[in-house]
Amino acid sequence: METILAKPDENSLKLAGQLLRAGELVAIPTETVYGLASNALDGKAVEKIFKAKGRPMDNPLIVHISDISQVYDLVREFPEKARKLAETFWPGAITIIMPCSDKVPKEVTAGLDTVAIRFPSHTVAQQIINSAGIPLSAPSANLSGSPSPTSALHVYNDLQGKIPLIIDGGESEVGVESTVISVAGDIPTLLRPGGITVEQIENVIGKIHIDKGVVEQIDSHTVVASPGMKYKHYSPKADIIIVKCDGDEYIDYINALKNREHIGALCYDEDREKLCVPYVSLGKKKDYLMQAHHLFNALRQLDEMNLHTVYARCPKKEGVGLAVYNRLIRSAGFEVIEID
């Protein structure tokens, strides 16, 4: 199959809508990462996403809408707290899990009785949903297991020949996937940190529970609230090892390694001049938004540097830093070295 890479204009947006209505896949830009979209109400179309990505079928998808009113068709109940979150943060980088209606195919929910819904703020994403005239189920548009795509080129590199159309809406601004919160149970629970922080959410609906899987490793036999948590994720070719320390011990540790061949660093801007190995920087030490914006591109850049081990700075677990930590710890397969 030939893959068309197109800028958003009247023709390409119309084509995107036609393909989606016909049950085909289209990669779309969003403010979080690029999504691989299909008609969320057509189980056969949804199945194609799992095939193109190589995604395990038990990992459910997020349904993308372009107006809050579209929620009612998709849910059995629109809980008060969900409504407050939607009114405050949509359109934006937060996905809300609610009890699902029988209109949502099991391919989307992976057989759960809940559905994850998001209203993205990227105008091109909204235009594509409107052009299709249907809600779109979309996971990140990468091959399963590789870093999520934050540019159309990342998508092209992973999925060329497997999908008919990629709409290039520029670099994703947030750079990590949406915050996922479930309000389907008694206590609202954070399942994945993202661009909207715990503090922002608690300001609107009060105290929330943070699922253990956000910062800890879940073994593959445990039943988890969000199936995506248990899979290996965001893995570049090199092994990533996180080095946990506050100051320059990170630099000293790397520079003191006896054999520095094929060793690299995923560091902060402040470290660059002091390191004597090749590096990619995530941005300034305290600038969590910038670190999130750069993370996945940095992992893909490291792939091109012929490295076998990369020592990474350990992101702080505060604000959007929690989202960076959650992704990086997975790309490191939870391998952390602590230095005092």
In the chain, the largest separation of any two C-alpha atoms, in whole Å, equals 61
Indicate the DSSP class of residue 147.
P
Verify binding: residue 97, ligand AMP, rule CB under 6 A: yes
Least CB distance to ligand AMP at residue 66 (A): 17
Quick one: which of 26, 40, 49, 61 contacts ligand AMP (CB under 6 A)?
A: 61
SS3 state at 202? helix
Residue from 24, 107, 168, 177 in contact with ligand AMP (CB under 6 A): 177
> What is the phi-psi region of residue 145: left when phi exceeds 0, alpha when psi lies from -120 to 50, beta otherwise?
left
Question: Does the protein bind ligand AMP through residue 114 (CB under 6 A)?
Answer: yes
Distance of CA 156 to the CA centre of its chain: 17
- Examine residue 289 and tell whether it contacts ligand AMP (CB under 6 A): no
Distance CA 138, CA 46 (A): 9
Distance (Å, rounded) from C-alpha 291 to C-alpha 60?
27
74 binding partner (options ligand AMP, Mg ion, none; Cβ < 5 to 8 Å by kind): none
Determine the residue type at 85: L
φ, ψ of residue 293 in degrees (nearest 5): -60, -40
Binding to ligand AMP by residue 112, rule CB under 6 A? yes
Can you say how many angstroms the Cα of residue 23 is from the centroid of all Cα atoms in its chain?
Answer: 24
Partner interacting with residue 13 (select from ligand AMP, Mg ion, none; CB below 5-8 Å by kind): none
Binding segment for ligand AMP among 58-66, 126-134, 239-247, 294-302 (CB under 6 A)?
A: 58-66
Binding window for Mg ion (CB under 5 A); candidates: 43-51, 60-68, 140-148, 262-270: 140-148
Contact code string over 227-256 relative to ligand AMP, x by CB under 6 A: xx----------------------------
Phi and psi at residue 117, in whole multiples of 5°? -130, 140
Q: How far is CA 301 from CA 13, 168, 210, in A?
A: 30, 20, 32
Nearest Cα to Cα of residue 310 among 338, 268, 269, 278: 278
SS3 of residue 297 by DSSP: helix
- Report the nearest approach of ligand AMP to the CB of residue 8 (Å): 22
DSSP 292-320: HHHHHHHHHHHHTT--SEEEEE---SSTT
| CA 173/CA 296 separation, integer angstroms | 12
Report the chain's C-alpha Rg in angstroms. 20
Question: Does residue 115 bind ligand AMP (CB under 6 A)?
Answer: yes
Residue 177 carries which DSSP code?
P
Instruction: Based on the shown chain and the rule CB under 5 A, indicate whether residue 140 belongs to the binding site for Mg ion.
Output: yes
Which residue has its beta carbon closest to ligand AMP? 228
Number of Cβ within 10 Å of residue 221's Cβ equals: 6
Helices (H) and strands (E) in the chain, counts: 11, 16
> Whole-angstrom Cα distance, residue 219 to residue 271?
34
CB of 139 to Mg ion, least distance (A): 5
Q: Is residue 226 a contact point for Mg ion (CB under 5 A)?
A: no
* 228 vs 321, beta carbon nearer ligand AMP: 228
- 2-10, 74-82, 136-144, 291-299 -> range binding Mg ion (CB under 5 A): 136-144
Nearest distance from C-beta of residue 140 to Mg ion, angstroms: 3
Give CA–CA dist 219/202, Å, rounded: 29
Residue at shortest CB range from Mg ion: 140
- Least spacing, CB of residue 112 vs ligand AMP, in Å: 5
Nearer Cβ to ligand AMP (55/294):
55
Least Cβ distance, residue 76 to ligand AMP (angstroms): 13
Q: Does 178 bind Mg ion (CB under 5 A)?
A: no
Site size with ligand AMP, rule: CB under 6 A: 20
- Output 171 or 287, the one with its CB closest to Mg ion: 171
Could you list the residues that contact ligand AMP (CB under 6 A)? 59-62, 97, 109, 112, 114-116, 139-140, 177, 180, 191-192, 225-228
Q: Catalog residues that contact Mg ion under the rule CB under 5 A.
A: 139-140
